[in-house]
Each structure stands twice: as structure tokens, then as C-alpha cells.
Amino acid sequence: MIEVERLTKLYGRAVAVDRLDFQVGRGEIVGLLGTNGAGKTTTMRMLTTFLTPTSGRARISGHDVLDEPLQVRRNVGYLPESVPLPGEMRVVEYLRYRSRLKDVPRSERRRAVGDAIERCGLVDVGRKLIGQLSKGYRQRVGLADALLHDPDLLILDEPTAGLDPIQILEVRSLIRGLGERHTILLSTHIMPEVEAVCGRVLIISRGRLVVDESLERFRAESAIEVEVRGPARSVAAALGAMPGIRRVETLEETDDVARFAIIADTGTDLREAIAERVVRNGWGLRSLDLRRSSLEERFVRAVADADLPVDSSPDSEAA
């Protein structure tokens, strides 16, 4: 559905997106995460043909964003973070107008508009002026607009930004329902939103892809926290050399006691083996605890591990 190969966007010497590579299969709901200025919005604008890549390739449903932009737009429904809606038009009037712009066949426009209104929960406000609607309903109008031509792919940029808690829950439920018929790429910085809606997550930092994993894997990953009386460097080296351990992070260190977070392979509980290794080396085992990793913790760790400092970039105001 989405194929991205070394996709890059430069603004002068500033790198907004740096050689991105990823794929999204049909029927997936994928969360695109990143700090402000990471390049999320720039990536989405290139996928929707609103921005031209500096280099690299991207294909939507087999159509190249550079060579076949009209075909790409026919296969994509895009909801930007700030939906530009005319307040003086009624909901039905606006959607009929948009259906003409999107080349929906005249014989299908009434059905397309009615279907979008029903799917987005706009039946009760169809005759109201858009300017009289709450922000939550305006987001729904934006989604209905994105659905009019029944695209294969929906690209949603911060769809719940600025909504109240009830509106957020309603829009999330709507997105889950849309995922039954559409592939969805969802950009957000709200971790609970990704956990509630998505099946997979992409994390980018300063335009680079640093994580591409399923939410199931995130939920399965755990960290073992251990506090040991002994030489910190020797303890870390001994634990890091154990089979099944990805890395050892030193959380706290004093003269003779250190606390570590041990990241093991998914689904592996090494607490007994760790205790045995510590005791066998003659060190004092002070505590040992298994802690499940949250998406938020994984996000922070991924950005830190990438060693890419966060600062402003040309798309930071919208990313």
C-alpha cells in the first residue's frame, strides 16, 4: 500500500526527512510518532503529493508520488492537522462541492456524500453551517471529506489535536471503524492514542526512522531492574554478556552500589539467571524486579538511543 525508499526532504542545508525506508501493508493502522520537528508532517505532505521530495521514492497503491501525482491523490484521503473548512457553508453543501472537486462521478455523488455523513456521525448536523459546529464535529467533517472518493489509504495528521476528552474518544472510535475498510497512517504525539488505535508504530527522530515495530512487541518487551553491591562496570559487563540480554543501562551508581535496567529479548524472563550470575560473582543482590515497558518509555529510549538532539526544523510548527 505504502512503499517508501530513501525518502529525503531538504530545506537548503536543513534536513527535514533523512532517507526514510518503510512499508505499510493493506489493512494496517500504523502510528507515525516523533517529537516536534521530527519530520512527521513533512513525510505526510510528501506522501500526499503536497511537497516534492528532494530525493528517494514513495509509492501509494503502486503509483509514484512524483510520476503519478493524480493517481496518488485518487487513492489517498488526507486529513491535515488544521482542517481548512469554510464556516459559511452547510455540511452537506460543502461535501457535495468537495465531491465534484474530487471527480466523484455525478451518478455516485449523492451516495458518496450520504455514506461519508453516516460513517462520520454527521447525520444530525448535515444542514448546519460549518462555522456553528464544535471542533470535534469539524474534525468529523474533515474526515468525511477525506472519505468521499473512497480511497484505499487515509493519512491523518494529529486528528484529535485540540479536542476535549469526550471528543477524543469519539474520534478514536471512528478511526478504528474506518480501519475496517481503509489502510490508515496516523501521525500523533499522544501515546495512548497509538495504543488504542494502531497495530504498529513507526518512530522518527530528526527525519530518521529509529523504530519500526508492532504494538504487540512493545507490550511484550520488559525491563528487569536489578540493584547490586559491587563494581558497577564489572557488573554491567557480566550481565551484558549473558545470552538473551540486549543491553544493560546503568540507572544509578554510588561508591559500591549500582542499579541497572536490563533489556532482554522479547518474551524472555531472565530473573533467575541474573540472580545466579550476580551471586556466583560474589556480589550482593539487593533487589530484582520485572517491569513492563510502556510505549512512552520505549519512545523516549528510542529517541535517546538514536543520539539525535531535538531542535527546530522547517516543519516543526506542524510536525
Give the tens place of pLDDT for each residue, 129-182: 999 999 889 999 999 999 999 999 999 998 888 788 888 888 888 889 888 889
- Residues 80 and 155 sit within 8 Å (Cβ to Cβ): no
> Is the CB of residue 85 less than 8 Å from the CB of residue 132?
no
For residue 312, name the pLDDT band (cuts at 50, 70, 90). very low
Q: How far apart are CA 31 and CA 203, in angstroms?
A: 8
The predicted structure's pLDDT at residue 170: 86
Q: Is the pLDDT of residue 198 over 70?
A: yes
Q: Are 211 and 298 in contact (CB under 8 A)?
A: yes
- Cα separation, 113 vs 309, in Å, equals 46
Residue-wise pLDDT for 44-74, tens only, equals 999 999 999 999 999 999 999 999 999 999 9
